[in-house]
Structure 1
Amino acid sequence: MEQCGACRAPEPYEGPEGVHPLDQLSPQEVSRATACTRAHAAALGVPGALRFNTVMLQEPAKRDLLAFYNGRGARPPRRAVVWVLNPPHGHLFEGIVDLPSAGGGDRMLRWKLLEGVQPTTTPDDNVLAEEIILADKRVMDMVAERYGITDPNLIIFDPWTLHGTPPGYEGRRLMQGFLYVRKCKDDNEYAHPLDLLPLVDLNLGKVINIECYDKPAKIPPTLVNYHADLANGTTGTGWRSDLRPIDITQPEGPSFTVEGTLVKWQKWQVRLGFTPREGLVLHNVGWQEEGGRVRPILHRASLVEMAVPYGDPNQPYVRKCAFDVGDYGMGFTANSLELGCDCVGHIKYFDGVVNNAKGEPLVIRNAICLHEEDAGMLWKHTDTRLNRVEVRRNRRLVVSQVSTFANYEYAMYWNFYIDGTMSLEMKLTGILSTTYRPLEEKPGNVPFGIDVAPGVIATNHQHLFCVRLDPSIDCAEGGKDLVVSEVNADMLPLGPGNPRGNAFQVNETPLLSVHAAMRDAAPFRSRAWKVKNPAVINPITGQPVGFKLLPTHSTPMLMQPESLVAKRAFFATKHLFVTPHDDEQVFPAGDHVVQSEDCLGLKIWTKEDKPLAGADPVIWHSFGITHLPRLEDFPIMPVEVVGFTFKPWGFHKWNPTLDLPPTRNAASKEDVQAAASAPKLPRPRM
């Protein structure tokens, strides 16, 4: 199979100082970008102090990257995108800073006032909101009057962005807060929700409204804890004593190699990136054939948005909906992963670089984890005539990141398998966001949720994710030749061609325009979507090489089309969108989603029914889960897993695992006593 566009390896090695054009900004580059921004703002006479929101790499245009990779263009320059506020004036500016690789000569290339939008609420914004709340005399007086609590150290404020700005507050940078109380330092505050909801103006630095029930309520008293120092008090049974260690060992080290941010494992190659908004990003995913030729698969892939709408229609909870990627940032909220806890085995870590409100760089140690793990059986067959068994173990390379958004954790796992399959798993865990219920009410009969403790309700909600996939199947000149099609398995009607009614066939339909490519999943038809390259034909199948996107979770949005959620989270109204590639189109709900009243991205980009033929298609895949909380999810939630699979479909000449040697794990041991007592069964005849 020949590649289109006279393909070469996806990219040359890094340039000066080992920095690749797609590597995240270094701490030094963040400092240079913010210094340049301060100087530029001062020269323009921008009033007020600057509050830096986001400083991140401006990725080179795809066209320039491809020219560089293929030796036809210069090395793309290093540039930073800077979003900066100047409260209390409420202005948001966007700057593009040129950062010459030699250092010095930094300059502002573009400076723009952005009107009518609010940027991400960073960790510093969340801390600021809590400080404002806890320092507000009116709030503390109400807490003392209603609950008898005078120690502000026991009050916990969960900051949330607003989903729907109350009338009269338009144009202000606001955060709402759900209040909780702790009985002691490590107590689980979500077991003790209060019925006060303050509203904070971040630019003015003050509380501007407080919502509450008409009469004082009692604090839910039950202790429901997960912290190691308190959990035994909840269960009353003590720690389990019958768990024995399971150790993951690789005495010869891992099978992957790392060159800067380029990872090579088996026949996979992938470059890892990191942004404050998306967190982990995959670049230049490819498969290496014999002779060293690397066949491109994905130019770029990342989680670009998610919406978590809650199903309670009552005030103020109707405003409860988080767009976690756009509202808070997967990178800003990334955890520093712990060896032997978050990841086990032989681990390689990568740091993440973000910024604080002062414009200083912050390094998140061990933000990304890389490891390989056993993945069960790959394939097996017993030839009963020869009495011979052939079996191969599967393994996968895992690239992961975990982010914390107040009560919830989202763990992102990109998996690469030995047979050329890749997948994304999102693991949801953390703590349910709870609300107050009067203690005098009997449990049960909660129309929009469930009781998880006396006086404590967990509301029904959804987690709706969106990934952006920029495919490059066997083509290093971009994806202009690629075609996205829909594949359905359909039963045939009874008739001369199907007299016994057992026949079904596969129907494939090319999606040739933007509107035609707005599609829903259909599990009853085994619906999937194929990305194929008609310029490269598989010699065995006679069909274009390709990969198939297999939706494994197809939860639809349960909110009405006229709802604010459906307007803002337009990406979640369908499971598939396909658009022509555009470097500026990355975030489907918009570059700035905080307090938005409509979709500022995908709805606009798909308004015109543009043709997709020759358009370098970009895939937007939405998937999710409807979370109907259960008692067992509290006080800590065992993981729920959602995701999808991206599987080779006629991409290889034959099964790519035939060269795997037979292996036997020498560390495995048999329980001899159990084996001796087991009955011997006759071997079945085949």
Structure 2
Amino acid sequence: MGVQAHPLDPLSAAEMTTAATACREKAIAEGVERLRFNTISLQEPAKKELLAWYKAGCPADAPPPRQAFCILQTPETVEAVVSLPPGGPAKVAAWTPVPGVQPLASPDDCFEAEAIAKADHGVQKLLKEVYGIEDMELVVCDPWSVHLPPIGGRLIQTFLYKRSSAADNQYSKPLDAVPLVDLNQGKVVRIDTPYLSAGKGAELADRLAACTDVNYHRDLCEVPFRKDLKPLDIVQPEGASWTVEGQLIKWQKWHIRFTFNYREGLVLHDIGYKDGGRVRPIIHRMSLVEMAVPYADPNEPYTRKCAFDVGDYGLGNCANSLELGCDCLGNIQYFDALLNNSKGEPVELKKVVCMHEEDVGLLWKHLEYRNGHAESRRSRRLVLSFIATVVNYEYLFYYYFYQDGTIGYEIKLTGELSTNLVSPDESPDKPEWGTLVAPGVNAQYHQHMFSMRIDPAVDDADGGAGLVVSEVDAVAVPAGPANPAGNAWTTKETDLLSEAEAQRVCDAGCGRYWKIRNPASTHPATGKPVAFKLMPQHTPLLLAAPESSIAQRGQFATKHLWVTPHSDKERFPAGEYPMQHAGGDGLPKWTAQSRSLEGADPVLWYTFGTAHVPRPEDFPVMPCEVVGFHLKPFGFFDYNPGRDLPPGANKASKLANGHTNGHANGCCH
């Protein structure tokens, strides 16, 4: 028997093709001569409609309407909604021009921009005259969205590098040329050359000659590989512990529905934990919804170097097909995804989401020292992950589910540094705005700022309608009659009752965290509302000046926490179309209303990230840098929910010398 279709199931190839056909027919009727498909994705049902369907028992004959959401370029931006009734003809239900915005740069856009830059006669002439480069196959043009666009148009800037061979690491040989491509015109409209403009072009060929090959590719790596590594295998002889029903995953009392789209990549829905015979809701929807990656070099043209990777490119569009035993280790289940190309055709991404279990040390232990008896249980977590390559960087995204009800999220940053020549007015030995990571090669200071959208449903079948978000600090109690020894401290909990009050920053000095409470559900011992707490990682906020264009576009990164009342239309903290946008859209626009959060359905927007001061050790390929956070139950369960884990020793474990332990009554027996 097949799994019943769910309203959140991604579009099938047939549905995507049907939606594209309907849009083409509508474009002809509208007199559109040129139609390019930027996006074809599921239009998720409104939260109210989805919850009503759940409450009705998920009737197969009355699901929310099935629709596709399409972003089209004519070249004007158009949003189309296509109805996909079962067994009936598709119909364009909405056709809405959106003037003055630029949709994200699709994979086809990025390949096209590089091809245009390399074919341009001005670019070819410059490279030949300055560097003696005639073989354009050895030239690499990294396509970047344009912050602070100097002219109008649909622009992509391309940072240029030279390779010694097809597999060579181009970032060790940056060139002094940044062509600006207008995709609408299909041509290079400007070339920025800092050294030539400063009258220092004569030294460029010498600078390139001084650059050395610095490689990591298995065929080119300049250092010998280690020979002392022995196999380390992850083995599950009885298979994995999960079950999968369509897009629904069940593992160790967790119920998790997942989808994958062009922009957010992996999205989790309807996260719940089975407790006392029922699945208790925890999160309605959760995903990474924006990234800002501003660079700190104040020299032109690098002031234009700031990518909003979710809104400018789309994490799903940039996702990798993963490799067993390399990207994913152990007993693995993969999931494919379906996106579209610029012609509106379905494009299948194979093995784009990885699921596995992994051991993460002890969950709990106690040794009764009086008799030597110990009880311990090892912790296992379910991992859902995907990897996106956004030009030079790799971002590795991991959702973790633990046996004690904790949810973890990590992003691991790796890949290659985006490099450049030190600007003409800087000392080549001591660049002010970066680190020399190889001879003549500068890696600029920059930040990676991430925004997570968390729509909670803590023990609330209505999806979070009555939840309260509060801030909790640990505070010292002054010495006095109530605290004669001066040792007392307590917690101060402050409800965040409006959008203005709910713009908060981390404070490691008082161990600050944020709590999501459900007043309608109380703990049997404490009598207090059940809750989950957001445990932040104390990371820097946006370092750009408040009046800067970066801060205007990326205001979400000026606070660690924002809370807003739920709205189906409020999805992305820098706005629906951040590419080339002047700023002020998204969170700053919504929260300017200072709407009340009392009795609201709150949505949390959590900002975290890193200020990356590159190291020579980050080159030619960067070891993973890790950022993230946790959501932990706080009075949600009666007791430790991992208390029921069965005892038992891992029989595959052995001493390094090959001998057995020799103790027959250890803690696991």
TM-score w.r.t. structure 1 length?
0.93
Distance in 2, matches of 1:437 and 1:509, equals 49
Q: Do the aligned residues in 2 keep the contact of 1:443 with 1:454 (CA within 8 Å)?
A: no
CA RMSD of aligned residues (A): 1.7
Match of 2:664 in 1: none
Aligned 1:397-476 pairs, distance under 5 A: 397-437=382-422, 444-476=429-461
> Following TM superposition, by how much is the alpha carbon of 1:501 offset from its aligned partner in structure 2, in angstroms?
2.5
Distance in 2, matches of 1:662 and 1:513, equals 48
Distance in 2, matches of 1:147 and 1:438, equals 18
Per-residue CA deviation, residues 456-486 of structure 1 (Å, 9 max, x unaligned), is 0001111000000000011111211100000
Per-residue CA deviation, residues 621-678 of structure 1 (Å, 9 max, x unaligned), is 00011111000000000000001100000000111111111110111111348999xx
Q: Which amino acid aligns with 2:574?
A: A
Match of 1:230 in 2: 220
Match of 2:350 in 1: 365
Q: Do the aligned residues in 2 keep the contact of 1:529 with 1:550 (CA within 8 Å)?
A: yes
Q: Do the aligned residues in 2 keep the contact of 1:553 with 1:643 (CA within 8 Å)?
A: no
Indicate yes or no: 2:73 matched with 1:85: yes
SS in 2 for 1:556: coil
Distance in 2, matches of 1:350 and 1:593, equals 29
> Following TM superposition, by how much is the alpha carbon of 1:29 offset from its aligned partner in structure 2, in angstroms?
1.2
Of residues 278-287 and 28-37 in structure 1, the stretch that sits farther from structure 2 once superposed is 28-37
SS in 1 for 2:486: coil
Match of 2:266 in 1: 280
Q: Do the aligned residues in 2 keep the contact of 1:553 with 1:644 (CA within 8 Å)?
A: no
Aligned with residue 325 of structure 1, among 310, 331, 340: 310
Aligned with residue 299 of structure 1, among 262, 278, 284: 284
Indicate yes or no: 2:26 matched with 1:40: yes
Match of 1:49 in 2: 34
Indicate yes or no: 2:51 matched with 1:71: no
SS in 2 for 1:371: strand
Q: Which amino acid aligns with 2:13?
A: P
Indicate yes or no: 2:252 matched with 1:266: yes
Per-residue CA deviation, residues 575-619 of structure 1 (Å, 9 max, x unaligned), is 000000000111110111110111321111101111101110000
Match of 1:344 in 2: 329
Match of 1:221 in 2: 211
5+ residue gaps in structure 2?
662-669
Aligned 1:96-245 pairs, distance under 5 A: 96-102=81-87, 104-166=88-150, 169-170=151-152, 172-212=153-193, 213-214=195-196, 215-216=200-201, 217-218=204-205, 219=208, 220-231=210-221, 233=222, 235=223, 238-245=224-231
Q: Do the aligned residues in 1 keep the contact of 2:3 with 2:245 (CA within 8 Å)?
A: no
Distance in 2, matches of 1:610 and 1:191, equals 51
Q: Do the aligned residues in 1 keep the contact of 2:7 with 2:63 (CA within 8 Å)?
A: yes
Q: Which amino acid aligns with 1:495?
A: G
Q: Which amino acid aligns with 1:164?
A: L
Q: Do the aligned residues in 2 keep the contact of 1:284 with 1:298 (CA within 8 Å)?
A: yes
TM-score w.r.t. structure 2 length?
0.95
Distance in 1, matches of 2:301 and 2:551, equals 19
Q: Do the aligned residues in 2 keep the contact of 1:553 with 1:625 (CA within 8 Å)?
A: no
Q: Do the aligned residues in 2 keep the contact of 1:27 with 1:353 (CA within 8 Å)?
A: yes
> Following TM superposition, by how much is the alpha carbon of 1:17 offset from its aligned partner in structure 2, in angstroms?
7.1
SS in 1 for 2:114: helix
Per-residue CA deviation, residues 276-317 of structure 1 (Å, 9 max, x unaligned), is 0000000000001232x1100000000000100111111100
Aligned 1:479-628 pairs, distance under 5 A: 479-628=464-613
Distance in 2, matches of 1:532 and 1:188, equals 51
Distance in 1, matches of 2:378 and 2:554, equals 41
Distance in 1, matches of 2:657 and 2:295, equals 53
Q: Do the aligned residues in 1 keep the contact of 2:507 with 2:538 (CA within 8 Å)?
A: no
Q: Which amino acid aligns with 2:260?
A: F
SS in 2 for 1:56: strand
Q: Which amino acid aligns with 2:67?
A: R
Of residues 66-75 and 352-361 in structure 1, the stretch that sits farther from structure 2 once superposed is 66-75
Q: Which amino acid aligns with 1:186?
A: A
Q: Which amino acid aligns with 1:83?
A: I
Indicate yes or no: 2:13 matched with 1:27: yes
Aligned with residue 477 of structure 1, among 456, 462, 467: 462
Distance in 1, matches of 2:48 and 2:422, equals 56
Of residues 17-26 and 142-151 in structure 1, the stretch that sits farther from structure 2 once superposed is 17-26
> Following TM superposition, by how much is the alpha carbon of 1:498 offset from its aligned partner in structure 2, in angstroms?
2.5
SS in 1 for 2:318: coil
Distance in 1, matches of 2:543 and 2:189, equals 33
Q: Do the aligned residues in 2 keep the contact of 1:444 with 1:450 (CA within 8 Å)?
A: no
Aligned with residue 645 of structure 2, among 647, 660, 674: 660
Distance in 2, matches of 1:524 and 1:536, equals 31
Distance in 1, matches of 2:67 and 2:436, equals 51
Q: Do the aligned residues in 2 keep the contact of 1:333 with 1:404 (CA within 8 Å)?
A: yes
Distance in 1, matches of 2:633 and 2:642, equals 13
